[in-house]
Amino acid sequence: MYKKIILFSILIFLSGVHVYGGLCGAEVVDRVVAVVNEDIVSLSELTRAVQPYADKIKSLGYSLEKEREILFKVHEDMLDQIINQKLTDQESKKYKLSVSEKEIDNALERVKEANHYTDEDLRSALVKDNISMEEYRDKVKENILRAKLLNIAVKSKIVITRDDIKSYYENHKNMYQGEKRYHLQNMVKKADYSLGADDKKAILLIMEEIYTRLKNGQPFDKVSMDYSGGSYDIKSLDLGMFKPDQLSQQVRDAIKDLKSGECTKVLETEIGYQIIYIQGIEEKPGKSPDEAASEIEDILFREIVDKKFLSWIDALKQKSHIKITK
């Protein structure tokens, strides 16, 4: 029940309650590992941030050398992430941004709604993650502050033009073409590769007889029932719904021009001789450039935000005093 919230907690709450004792398991003596302008990053802060990932890595059974290599990379990446957080927090203070208790409450309600949690469920999930509600609220507050800063420093400077939208649409036309799904049934007679030519010919004649009856408009269920028992042993299956690209090329070619209620000719396949029957076709209409414009704008906006944010962080680092002492 707690999987979603655990993942969310790891992303939003980088500090647990345990202290990771370094790569060799030695006792941690707290010290400064980085200076970010007027702020510091302590070793205990870094090890708490690494802890959830360290536990996971240690459980995967790597060799000691490989485990050390991975943990070292995680420490480096997490330190960079903490430095980024320090810089964005400092910028939030410069802009005098604030978050009300109501905004935090609303964010928590969205978390509960997304995970179908009651208040009790959320608290239980946090306990399982060794996080108090007060700590969780503090981290939610930090995230909201950073989102506000992102709006000011990055998002407000982004402009998506009609040419941008048109270009994206032209390069991703397959995303906006109509979607077709087939509800397929089949009748199949398995034919072992060891069968002789005469036996295979006899099976093919039976399948051709079935095909003729279906082509003449006889109901699929009735025909399949007639051949399901006795010496025929023709299997009938409801295969379910498929998009064309989920089917083999052979089946795709055989059904591409068929309508609902029609069937393929007898197909010789790796599982035997079979006839595919089109039980139904669902068609989802495509979107014109104007109909897709809003969706494309959102996609482009997110892509640009990610790039702009990284550029903005790099610029902050260039003009900041950052010293790594570990």
Residues 147 and 224 placed together within one structural domain of the fold: no
The maximal CA–CA distance of the chain, rounded, in angstroms, is 89
**Per-residue model confidence as pLDDT tens digits over 241-254:** 998 889 999 999 99
Residues 149 and 190 placed together within one structural domain of the fold: no
Residue 293 within a domain: no
In terms of DSSP bridges, do strands 179-189 and 272-284 run parallel, antiparallel, or are they unpaired? Answer: antiparallel
Distance CA 154, CA 147 (A): 10
- The number of distinct structural domains making up the chain is 2
Residues 235 and 98 placed together within one structural domain of the fold: no
Question: Of 115, 136, 153, which closes a domain?
Answer: 153
Residue 326 within a domain: no
Q: Flag whether pLDDT at 163 surpasses 80.
A: yes
pTM for the whole structure: 0.48
**pLDDT of amino acid 325:** 87
Residues 200 and 136 placed together within one structural domain of the fold: no
Residues 185 and 113 placed together within one structural domain of the fold: no
Q: Average model confidence (pLDDT) for the chain?
A: 84
Which tokens sit at 313?
């962080």
Residues 149 and 9 placed together within one structural domain of the fold: yes
Print the domain residue range for 71: 3-153
Question: What's the mean pLDDT in 104-120?
Answer: 91
Decide if 70 contacts 58 (C-beta within 8 A): no
Residue 46 within a domain: yes
Residue 297 within a domain: no
Backbone angles phi, psi at 227, to 5 degrees: -110, 10
